[in-house]
């Protein structure tokens, strides 16, 4: 069965403030969807809610992944099902190397599938990591550094994409993985997404700018405004936003912003 992420009439609050006001979105495995929108419209709120961040309260609607309602599941359970989020602002974990972190993540998933699992054998893990690092043009010494500790913006994004490459999720959500990236790092992120995408992975690329979509070709582009998806279309929609900005969206959907 193909793995579909289905978001139905999702309403989300932070504290007593309503942020998402009825989001409907379907991301099937094998497709790349872009979610664009002005800053502060709820894109990251959607990403965090999908992954189960405790600060975000779902007040209505539901989220199905592979036909299963996931809103009651802990983030790690969602991850083990094959859902992945590349953070907009990845957290540093001094003392834990990139390699050890990735191995622990792989083993957690293996043990979820089989409690008797002894973990991935070290030679097999090394081979896997080497292959993925070569694919993403990441230098070998990267694996020994502490996760995100003192990493540049570009290195943090590479680390997120490396996690995605190693974990091979069925649906990956990339939250502004392009922001603050120079063109080389942007290309690495895009190369990774394109190499790993294909029939096995569905991708939701969240981005404020059209730029990354020159490298990652979306099947569908959605625009979020005022906590709702107000437009969906093909790749040309992103080009239109590049050319004209978000003002026409704000004008056309002014009623959305007025609602509380």
Among 22, 96, 37, CA closest to 225: 37
Residue among 103 and 228 whose Cβ is closer to ligand ADP: 228
x/- letters, 188..207, toward Mg ion (CB under 5 A): --------------------
Q: Which tokens belong to 245?
A: 């900005």
Choose the contact partner of 52 out of Mg ion, ligand ADP, none; CB within 5 to 8 A by kind.
Answer: none
Token pair listed for 40: 């502060």
55 binds, among ligand ADP, Mg ion, none (CB under 5 to 8 A by kind): ligand ADP
* Nearest CB to ligand ADP, comparing residues 29 and 88: 88
Residues written for the chain: 260
Query: What residues line the site for ligand ADP (CB under 6 A)?
Result: 14, 17, 19, 37, 39-45, 55
Decide: helix, strand or coil at residue 215.
coil
The whole-angstrom separation of Cα 98 and Cα 120 is 16
Query: Alpha-carbon distance 204 to 176, whole Å?
Result: 10
| Per CB under 5 A, 44 contacts Mg ion | yes
Question: 40 vs 233, which CB is nearer to ligand ADP?
Answer: 40
**Which of ligand ADP, Mg ion, none is residue 29 near (CB under 5 to 8 Å by kind)?**
none
Does residue number 49 form part of the binding site for Mg ion (CB under 5 A)?
no
**Cβ neighbours of residue 131 closer than 8 Å, sequence gap 6 or more:** none
Q: How far apart are CA 54 and CA 35, in angstroms?
A: 22
- Is position 32 an interface residue for Mg ion (rule: CB under 5 A)? no
Query: CB of residue 40 vs Mg ion: minimum separation in angstroms?
Result: 8
């Amino acid at each position: 069965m193909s793995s579909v992420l289905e978001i139905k009439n999702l309403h989300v609050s932070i504290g007593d403030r309503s942020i998402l006001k009825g989001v409907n979105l379907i991301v099937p495995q094998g497709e790349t969807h872009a979610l664009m929108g002005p800053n502060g419209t709820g894109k990251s709120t959607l990403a965090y809610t999908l992954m189960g961040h405790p600060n975000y309260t779902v007040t209505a609607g539901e989220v199905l992944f592979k036909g299963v309602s996931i809103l009651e599941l802990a983030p790690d359970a969602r991850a083990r099902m094959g859902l992945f989020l590349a953070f907009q602002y990845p957290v540093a974990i001094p003392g834990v190397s990139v390699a050890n972190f990735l191995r622990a993540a792989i083993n957690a998933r293996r043990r979820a599938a089989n409690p008797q699992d002894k973990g991935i054998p070290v030679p097999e893990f090394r081979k896997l990591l080497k292959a993925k690092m070569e694919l993403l043009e990441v230098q070998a010494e990267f694996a020994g550094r502490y996760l995100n500790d003192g990493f540049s913006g570009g290195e943090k994004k590479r680390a997120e994409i490396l996690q995605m490459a190693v974990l091979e999720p069925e649906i990956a959500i990339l939250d502004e993985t392009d922001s603050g990236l120079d063109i080389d790092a942007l290309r690495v992120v895009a190369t990774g997404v394109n190499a790993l995408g294909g029939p096995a992975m569905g991708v939701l690329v969240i981005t404020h700018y059209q730029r990354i979509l020159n490298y990652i070709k979306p099947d569908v582009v959605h625009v979020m405004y005022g906590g709702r998806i107000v437009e969906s279309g093909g790749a040309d929609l992103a080009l239109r936003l590049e050319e004209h900005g978000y003002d026409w969206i704000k004008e056309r959907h002014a009623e959305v912003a007025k609602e509380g």
